[in-house]
Structure 1
Amino acid sequence: MTPDASRPDPGAPAPEVRTMLRPGPVVTRADWPETPVRSLHVIRIGGAGMSAVARLALEAGLAVSGSDSQDGQFIAPLREAGARIGIGFDAELLAEDCDLVAVSTAVRPDNPEVIAAHERGIAVIHRAAALAGLLGERRTIAVAGTHGKTSTTAMATVALRGGGDDPAWALGAAVPDLGRNAGFGTGTSAVVEADESDGSFLAFAPRAVVVTNLEPDHLDFHGTLENLTAAFDALTERIVDGGALIVCADDPGAAALGERAAVRGVRVERYGTGDDVDWRVVSEEARADGTAVAYATPAGEASATLAVHGHHNVLNALGALAAAHAALPEAAVQDLLGGIAPFTGASRRFEKKGTRAGVTVYDDYAHHPREVAATIAAARGIVGEGRVIAVFQPHLFSRTRDFASDFAAALAGADEALVMPVYAAREDPDPATTARTITDLAPAGASVRPLDDRAEVAGLVAGAARPGDVVLMLGAGDVVEETPVVLAALADAEERA
C-alpha cells in the first residue's frame, strides 16, 4: 500500500522543498524579469502547458516564437494567432530581439536553443514563472492536488464567468467549453492549474489555493512523500494577505495540509461531505444528463444539475465554487454555480468518444490509482445493467512499481480490465516492470488481464463488449491512439454479427 500523506514518517530526514524554479543547467532565473519583455521564445511550445504560456503571451501583446520536436494539436492555432514556430530545435529560431526564453522541465541543457540563450545572455525561466509574470497583479486562483486539477481549474474559470468576470486561465489540457487551454481575458481574476510534479507551483502568489487532494505521486522528482508534502506547505505560505487555502476535507492529505496551515495563521476553508465543513455537499443524484447537486455554503444554499458525472466531479465543482467566491466575493454563489453547471468536462476527462454496437467508449487521463478508481466508479454510476470494461496503460515504470497493488485494486472495480504495456514517457526502459507487475497483484476473482502487445486491445474489447457496456480507455500516455481503433473494431464486429 502507498504511504499516507496525512501522516508523514516522523523518523524521516528533514524534508527538502524541491522546485525546478531555481537556476540550474537550463533555467537562469527564478522569476519574470523586472525589465520590459516584448519578445518571448517558448521551447517545446506544442505541449499543453507550454502552449498555454504562448497563448497568454500573444494575447498580452508580446511577440512569440517557439519550437518543438514535432507538430501537434496546439501548434496550428498558435501560428494562426501570430506565433512563429519551428519544428526541430535550432539556435536560429531565437529572434534577434528575443528578451526571454520559457522552458518546461522536459527541456534539457544540451538543447541548442538553451545553449544559444545562455551564450547571448538571454534569461531562461520555467513555464510556471512565465505564467506568474504574465498574469501580474490579477487575483489568482491556483488549483493544486494529485488529481482533479484540470477539471477544477476549468470549473473555477467558468464559475467566475458566471459571476460576471472575464478571467485569464491556463490549463494543462484542451477544454471544449473554453475553446482552448488558455486565455488572457479582460477581467480582474485568473485561474491556473498549479503543477506539483516539479515544485514549480511555488512561482505563484495566489489569492486562493485549492488543494483537491494530496497523495504520494511524482516521487521520481520529490524523492519522498515528506518532500512532496513540504512543497505543498511552501505553496500555502505563498498565499497573499487576505487570501485563503481551500482544501477538500474528505481527503486526509489535503485536510492535514489545512490543519498545518491554520496553525500558521492562514485562513482555511474546507469543503466536502462532512457536517463540519464550510462548503458542504447536501445531496447528489446521478442522472442520464449529469448530476443534480445541492450545496450548503457560507453564502447560502445553491443547487444545479451539473453536466458532468461522478462524485469526484461533485467535489471538484464545490472546490471551484469556493475558490471563485474567494476571488470574486461580490458575486452571488448561485450565479457562480450557474457558470459551472453546463460545463461538460476537459479533454480526456471522462470524454465520450462514441458509441458503436451499443457500446459507449470514453477516454480518460486517469494515471494514478485513485483516478482510475474514481473513473470506474463514475462509469458504474451511469452504466445501468451493463458492464464496465477498462483498458489501462500504466504511465512511467516508477509509478507502476510504486503503486502496483493500488492499481490492481482499482482496476478490480471494473467487470473486466486489460492492462497494456507500460508507457515509458521520460524514463529509461525497465524490463522488470510490465503489465504483470500490476495484474499479478489483482484480488482473487477479479478479471484483470495483462497484454504483451497493444495491438491486442481492439480485438479483445470487441470480443468482450456487449450492448449496454461502457469501455474506458485510461492513461496519460498514447492509449488515446487506440480509441478510434477500438471504435472501428466494435463497428466491424456489429457488421459481422
Structure 2
Amino acid sequence: MRLIRMLALIALQAIVIGLALDVLLSGVLTMGSRPLTHSLPVWLQPNNRLTLKLFWSAALLVPLLYWIAAAASWKQRRRSIAVLSSDGEVMLLHPAALHKFVRHQIETHPAVVSHKVDVRESGNKGIAISAVVNVEPIASLNAIKNDLQRSIRDGLEQVMGISKIDDIRIVLGLDEKSITRRPGPERREVARMKRLQTGGDIASAFRRVHFVGIGGVGMSGIAEVLCTLGYTVSGSDQGESATTRRLATLGARVHRGHAAEHIDGADVVVVSSAIRPDNPELIAARAQRVPIVPRAEMLAELMRFRRGIAVAGTHGKTTTTSLTASVLSEAGMDPTFVIGGQLLSAGANARLGGGEWLVAEADESDGSFLRLTPLIAVVTNIDADHLENYGGDFANVQAAFSEFLHRLPFYGLAVLCLDDPEVRVLAQEMPRHVIGYGFDAAADVRASEVTQSGRQTRFTLHLPDAPPTSVTLNLPGRHNVQNALAAAAIGWQLGVEPLAIARALEKFQGIGRRFNLHGEKDFGTGKALLVDDYGHHPAELAAVFQAARAGWPERRLVVAFQPHRYTRTRDLLDEFAAVLSEVDAVVLTEVYAAGEAPIVGADAKALARAIRARGRIDPVLVPNAKALPGVLPDVLHDGDLVILMGAGDIGAVAQELAAKGFDGANRT
C-alpha cells in the first residue's frame, strides 16, 4: 500500500511538472510583446518531438530521484536508534554497535557462560536493554545481576556518552555443567536456583514464604499482600488472634507455637526483629540453608515492583501512612499499602492495589528502614526512642534518618515536617528536592485556623499555587493535623486536586488503637468516656493528652498506662514522669517486657516514685493490665474521660471494656 501511494505521488508530481513546462514553452508566458519561446533554440521549441520527450522524462525523473533519496534516508533512520547524549544532544547509533558493546560488557563478567541480548528504543530518546544470561553460581544471583546491570549502565554512560537508559532487565539462569559440579550439601539451593531457567524470574524460585511471628502488625501486612499475589504463605505465632484468623481465610497456613517442622518446604523465611535467634524455626532454617530475611527486606522487595512511598519518624508513622493511602485512593490511584495498624475503613493493615504506588510504614526502631528504596520519603519527627538499638546515643538515631533520606534517588522527593527541630536540620542539608509541611510559616504545605470540637478538628489547608481549602478531619489534636499535612503534600505532588485531598481527609475513619472512642461506660457510680490509644512514648502521651484537653475541656482526664519495654522506661523515666504528672489521675501497670529482661530502677514502682516526687498526683499501681477493670471504678468520677494507653496487652483489656463494659469485663 505504501509503494502504491508513492508511485501515485510520483506520477502526480510528473504530470504537474510536465504541464508547467508545457505552459512555459507554449508561449503563454511572454517577455514584453514576444512569446518567451521565440528566444529559445530550435531544438527546444514546443513543436519539437525531442523536446517533448526530454521534458516529460525530466518531469518523471526529478520526483523519482527525490523519493529514492528520501527512502534511503528513511531506511537509514529506521535502522538507527536515537539516543540522548550526556550534553543533551540527540545521537543516531546503529543497533549493531549497541548490541556489540552490551555483549562485551556482559562477556567480561567471570560468571557468564552464555547470553542473548536485545537493545531497543524505549521512547523519548531513551533505550531499554533486556538480556537472558546463563551463569556459573560463583556468587549469589542477585549479586551477579547487580554487577551486570551496573557494568552495562556505567559503560553506556561513560564510554558511549548515553545519558538516558530507561531499563536494564536481566534474567539469570544457571549453566547446566556448572550445576553438576556443585557439592552435595548445596543441592537444595541449586534445585531452587535451577527453577529460574523455567520461571524466567528470580521471584519464581521463591514461591513458598514462611513468616516467624506472622501475627505481628508489621509481618501480617506483608503476608497478606503475598497471599493476594498468589504466593504460598505459612507462618507461626504464639497465639491465635483476629489477624491470624484473617490470614487463614486468605489461604495462609498458620501454626500456633514455634517448631522446626513448620518451615518444611519453605523457600524463604521472613523474621521480625522481635524474634530471638534461638527460635527453633530459625535454627532449622539455618541448618537446611533456607534463606532468612528480615521483615524490612521483604518489604523492600515488594517496593521494588512499585513506586515506593516510605513514611518514617518516631511518632505518627501509622496515621500518616494511612492518610496518604486514603488520599491516593480518593484520587483513583488504587495504591498498595502496608501499615503498622489496622485501617478501620479497610478492616486490615494491608491491601494489594492495582496502581503503581506502594505506601508503607518505614520502621526506624532497629535501623531496618535503611533497606527500603522509596521514591518519596516522609519524616514526621525524630525523637529519642529505641536507643538500645543505637548504642544508647541519640546522635546515631539522627545519623540513621539522614542516611535514610540520602538514599533517595536524585529524582526523589523528601517530605519533611518543619515543626520538628531535628527534621528541620535535615531539611537544610538535603541534596534532594524537599517539600516542607507543618504550622511553620516557611512550610510549603501549611495549616492555619485550627479548631477542635470533640474528636473533630477543622483547619485551613494551604498548598503551593492553590487557594486555601477548608478541611474537616475526624481525628483529634494538632499532631493529627500535621499527619494530614504530610498526606496532603504527597497528594499535591502527585497531582491530586485540593478538593479531592479534603474529601479524603474528611472520609478517613481512623486507625485501630489511635484515640479510638468507645463511648460512655457505666462503672457503677457513674459513667466515663472510654478511649483506647497505642501511645507509649512521652511525646505521644503529651500529644494525646493535649487532644483530650482540647476536645473535652470539661472532663477530668484519667489515664491507665502500661509502660512498654524496660529499656524505654529506663531511658525516658523523667520524661514519662513529667507528662503523666499533668493529668488528673494515673493508674500504672507493671512494664510490658516485650521480650526484655527486667532492669533494676526501670519498673512501674520507679516510675510511680518519680511521678509522686513531683507533688501533683499519687499514682495507683496494679500488677498487670488485666487488673484494670477491677481497679478503675474506684478511681473514676462521673463524667471522666479515661484513656487506656500502651503498646502491650492493655489494648486487649480496652477492647474487652469496650465490648462488655466494666460489669462484664473479667476482673482479675
Which deviations, in whole Å up to 9, do the C-alpha atoms of 1:76-125 show, x marking residues without a partner? 111111111211222322243x3221111122332232223223332211
The 5 Å alignment of 1:170-249 reads: 170-223=338-391, 224-249=393-418
Task: Supply the distance in 1 between the matched residues of 2:264 and 2:229 (Cα, whole angstroms).
Answer: 18
Secondary structure class of the residue paired with 1:210: strand
Residue 486 of structure 1: how far off its partner (Å) = 5.6
Aligned with 1:323 (options 481, 484, 490): 490
Write out per-residue CA displacement over residues 435-483 of structure 1, whole angstroms, 9 at most, x where no aligned residue. Answer: 2322333364421414042365334421232332210101111122333
User: Is the counterpart of residue 273 in structure 1 residue 439 in structure 2?
Assistant: yes
**2:441 pairs with 1:309:** no
1:283 aligns with 2:422: no
Q: Is 2:523 the partner of 1:355?
A: no
For the 8 Å contact 1:436–1:450, the answer to whether it is kept is no
- Measured against aligned partners, the alpha-carbon deviations of 1:399-439 in whole angstroms (never above 9, x if no partner) come to 11111111111112211122221111121022432223223
Paired residue for 2:503?
Answer: 338
Tell me, yes or no, if the aligned pair for 1:46 and 1:75 is still in contact at 8 Å. Answer: yes
| Distance of 1:429 and 1:374 partners within structure 2 | 28
- 2:303 and 2:374 in contact (8 A); partners too: no
Q: Which amino acid aligns with 1:76?
A: R
Two-structure CA RMSD over aligned residues (Å): 2.2
| Partners of 1:486 and 1:38 in 2: CA distance | 42
Please, which of 639, 648, 656 is the counterpart of residue 468 of structure 1? 639
Native 8 Å contact 2:320 2:484 kept in 1: yes
Deviations 1:384-412 (A, max 9, x none): 31111111111111111111111111112
What is the alpha-carbon distance in structure 1 between the residues aligned to residue 507 and residue 288 of structure 2?
Answer: 49
Q: Which moved more, 1:476-485 or 1:177-186?
A: 476-485
- Letter in structure 2 aligned against 1:370: A
Aligned to 1:15: none
Secondary structure of the residue aligned to 2:342 is coil
2: CA distance, partners of 1:95 / 1:298: 55
Q: Distance in 1 between matches of 2:425 and 2:640?
A: 39
Q: Give the partner amino acid of 2:521.
A: R
- What is the distance in 2 between the residues matched to 1:332 and 1:324? 8
Which amino acid is 1:345 matched to?
A: G
Deviation per CA, 1:187-240: give whole Å up to 9, x if none: 111110100001111121111111111011001111111111111111102212
Give the Cα–Cα distance (whole angstroms) in 2 for the partners of residues 189 and 269 of structure 1. Answer: 19
User: Residues 164-183 of structure 1, C-alpha deviation per residue, up to 9 Å, x if partnerless?
Assistant: 11000111122211220011
User: Secondary structure of 1:472's partner?
Assistant: strand
Cα gap change, 1:487 to 1:465, in 2 (>3 Å): farther
1:451 paired residue number: 621
Question: Structure 1 residues 272 and 396 mapped into 2: Cα distance closer, same or farther (>3 Å)?
Answer: same
State the alpha-carbon separation in 2 of the partners of residues 99 and 392 from structure 1: 42
- Structure 2 equivalent of residue 295 of structure 1: 461
Cα distance change of structure 1 residues 377 and 106 upon mapping to structure 2, 3 Å threshold: same
CA distance in 2, matches of 1:458, 1:119: 47
3-state DSSP of counterpart to 2:638: coil
Contact 1:459 1:486 in 2 (8 A): no
Amino acid at match of 1:309: P
Cα distance in 1, alignment partners of residues 649 and 615 from structure 2 = 29
Residue 417 of structure 1: aligned partner: 586
Distance 1:385 1:330 in 2: 42
**Structure 1 residues 232 and 111 mapped into 2: Cα distance closer, same or farther (>3 Å)?**
same
CA contact (8 A) 2:343 2:512 kept: yes
Indicate the SS of the match to 2:563.
coil
Query: Which of residues 215, 218, 236 in structure 2 aligns to 1:67?
Result: 236
Distance 2:455 2:621 in 1: 34
Contact 1:60–1:134 (Cα < 8 Å) also in 2: no
Q: Is the 2:337–2:350 Cα contact (8 Å) retained in structure 1?
A: yes
Contact 1:458 1:489 in 2 (8 A): no
Question: What SS does the aligned partner of 2:340 have?
Answer: coil
Does 1:107 find its partner at 2:275?
Answer: yes
How far apart are 1:490 and its partner, in Å? 6.9
8 Å CA contact 2:325–2:337 kept in 1: the answer is yes
Q: Return the letter of the residue paired with 1:292.
A: R
Q: Choose the corresponding residue for 1:86, options 235, 255, 258.
A: 255
Match of 2:555 in 1: 386
| Aligned partners of 2:208 and 2:267 also within 8 Å | yes
Is the radius of gyration larger for structure 1 or structure 2? 2
SS of 2:530 mapped into structure 1:
strand
Aligned residue for 1:154?
322
Give the whole-Å Cα distance in 2 for the aligned partners of 1:105 and 1:81: 25
**Secondary structure of 1:143's partner?**
strand
CA distance in 1, matches of 2:538, 2:272: 26
Letter in structure 1 aligned against 2:506:
A
What's the CA shift for 1:485? 6.4
Cα distance between partner residues in 1 of 2:601 and 2:659: 33
Distance 2:220 2:262 in 1: 17
Segments of structure 2 that go 5 or more residues without pairing to the other structure are 1-188, 190-200
How many Å separate the matches in 2 of 1:174 and 1:486? Answer: 19
Are the aligned partners of 1:102 and 1:127 in contact in 2 as well (CA < 8 Å)?
yes
Deviation (angstroms), 1:257? 2.0
SS of equivalent residue, structure 2 residue 369:
helix
SS for the counterpart of 1:430 is: coil
Structure (1/2) with the larger helix percentage: 2
Q: Is the 8 A contact 1:435 1:450 kept in 2?
A: no
Give per-residue Cα distances to partners, 1:319-363, cap 9 Å, x unaligned.
12112333xx22213212321222122111101133113311111
Stretches of structure 1 lacking an aligned partner (at least 5 in a row): 1-27
Contact 2:515 2:533 in 1 (8 A): yes
Q: What is the TM-score with the length of structure 1 in the denominator? A: 0.87
Which of 67-76 and 443-452 deviates more? 443-452
